[in-house]
Amino acid sequence: MSKKLYSQFKYQKRIICLPFDKKTYYDIVKDATKFRASLGEFIEQFPQLFPAEITQGYQLKEIRKPKKLPVPIRRILINKTNISYTIRPSFVMPYLTAMTEDAERVLFLRKYNVPFHALSYVFGENAMKWFRISQNIGRNSIVSTTIKYATDLPQHVVADEKHTWIKGEKAYIATTCANNCILGASLVKNANETELTKAYGIFKKEAQVIQPDYAPKTVITDGWLATQNAFKTLFSSIILIACFLHIFLKIRKRCKNKEIFSDISDKLWNCFKAPSKRNFSQRARRLIEWASNSKNNVPSFILEKIEKLREKSISFTKAYDFPKAPRTTNMVDRLMRPMDKHLFCSQYFHGSLETAELSIRSWTLIQNFAPSNPYTIKKFNGWQSPAERLNQFRYHDNWLQNLLVSASQRRHFNRPQNPL
């Protein structure tokens, strides 16, 4: 990510977005006593949205009346640090580009890859306005926007690279997932160790804002050496686990004999379901012995793939030391499926690397916060999105206002213990 984009992150730290009620806000903001009382309630209820020094006192500053929107905006001054902060209600979009209620349906349809010219036709305004509003969402930190509690930082992550194109040139999206959320999506033009270390380093930087010593225990990858080396460079203590699913997929791709493939797949998944390291090793040896027997007519190229079970057995059996760690990259593959559709529908990227980065980050946050289908919401007791299901919490019933408030978090706390 460019230095320019990080400087924008720094600027956003001076803006505190709060879930004010739109009906009462215009009355509260003009009355210093009411505004201070309302702000005090938010400080008590959501301390993570404010700088720590605010508890030692602050002053109300002027009311600004922007030309873009007729919404009065208050500013405050923290006594200890002498730093000013803008208090923005969540029913207004960042940079005062639009009201949230006008942008909410537009950005929801971006989840389903509706093009900007179609959005302009249905909702009015011009396509470039909706494009800029969408891009601005990507300026927020993915990790600290998605995760509210420090205790929810993932101990086990899944990583892979999505192949894409920028102006016809090959590029890669270094994607990090956990808890059914995308927590990292950074673009690079090469999939070598140096570039991937920089890309996955964005995930590390954003996570360590929440917890400075954060390091996941394990990462599961498809076996690409550059990916594994990148994570080992970023997190020296991390355990690398190889994806068992990829052996199955490579065999399925080349095996034309359905009868042999059926036998091999049954035996492979029998290995996968082994209850312990010892059982896994035993079943893997039996599979290799069976495949090596000339009577079974197993093709040599499939035998080579099966023998990798022996060569990489340590990479597979490490998962038994971490029962909660995934053993396949299925999570990232599942989340990459809509990403692939999004890239195809937009005909990939046509601008600069920075613009492309903002675009995929914006799409990622929308995926994390936009409501799922009604059946899924009902299944998860009313939690609308992956981010809500992860945090078991929402700031506002409107998903976009929830995203905007979450994006202004400054500090993170451990999840409070349930008294029950």
* Helical packing angle, 353-369 and 127-137, nearest 10°: 80
For residue 410, pLDDT beyond 90: no
State the pLDDT at residue 21: 94
Quick check: 118 and 49 in contact, CB under 8 A?
no
Average pLDDT estimate for 231-240: 96
* Among 289, 321, 353, residue at a domain's last position: 321
Does 142 reside within a domain? no
Per-residue pLDDT tens over the stretch 98-138 = 999 999 999 999 999 999 999 999 999 999 999 999 999 99
What average pLDDT does the segment 55-81 reach? 91
Range 49-62 average pLDDT: 92
End-to-end CA distance of the chain: 44
Residue 279's domain spans which residues? Answer: 245-321
* Average pLDDT of the residues in 356-367: 96
Per-residue pLDDT, averaged over 393-414, amounts to 84
Q: Average pLDDT of 311-315?
A: 84
Residues 115 and 131: their CA atoms lie apart, in Å, by 9
Quick one: which of 81, 133, 92 has its CA closest to 401? 92
Is residue 167 in a domain? no
HSE, side-chain direction, 13 A CA sphere, residue 295? 2
**Does residue 366 surpass a pLDDT of 70?**
yes
Q: Which of 74, 89, 104 is the last residue of a domain?
A: 89
pLDDT at 308: 80
**Strand partners of residue 17:** 88
Whether 58 is covered by a domain: the verdict is yes
State which of 65, 89, 113 marks the end of a domain: 89
Q: Tell me whether residue 387 is in a domain.
A: no
With respect to residue 272, please indicate whether it lies within any of the assigned structural domains.
yes
Specify the higher pLDDT residue, 245 or 1.
245
What pTM value is reported for the model? 0.90
Task: Answer whether residue 280 is part of any domain.
Answer: yes
Please compute the mean of the pLDDT values over residues 148-158 and round it to a whole number: 93
Report residue 419's pLDDT band, with 50, 70 and 90 as the boundaries.
Answer: very low
Other C-beta atoms lying within 10 Å of the C-beta of residue 337? 10
How far apart are the C-alpha atoms of 329 and 49, rounded to whole Å? 34
pLDDT at position 294 is 79
Residue 10 resides in a domain: no
* CA distances for 50 relative to 14, 61, 93, 234, angstroms: 10, 16, 19, 30
pLDDT at residue number 118? 97
Mean pLDDT taken over the chain = 90
Domain count, the chain: 2
Provide the pLDDT for residue 6. 44
What is the chain's length? 420
Confidence class for position 158, pLDDT limits 50, 70, 90: very high
- Smallest CA-to-CA distance from 392 within 383, 401, 400, 404 is with 383
8-37 tens-digit pLDDT: 444 456 899 999 999 999 999 999 999 999
The single-letter code of the amino acid at 102 is: D
Q: Does 219 have pLDDT greater than 70? A: yes
Better-scored residue on pLDDT, 411 or 215: 215
Q: Give 66 or 78, the one with higher predicted confidence.
A: 78
Separation of alpha carbons 369 and 386, rounded Å: 7
Sheet holding 15-18, edge to edge: 15-18, 84-89, 73-78, 58-64
Q: Is residue 399 part of a domain?
A: no
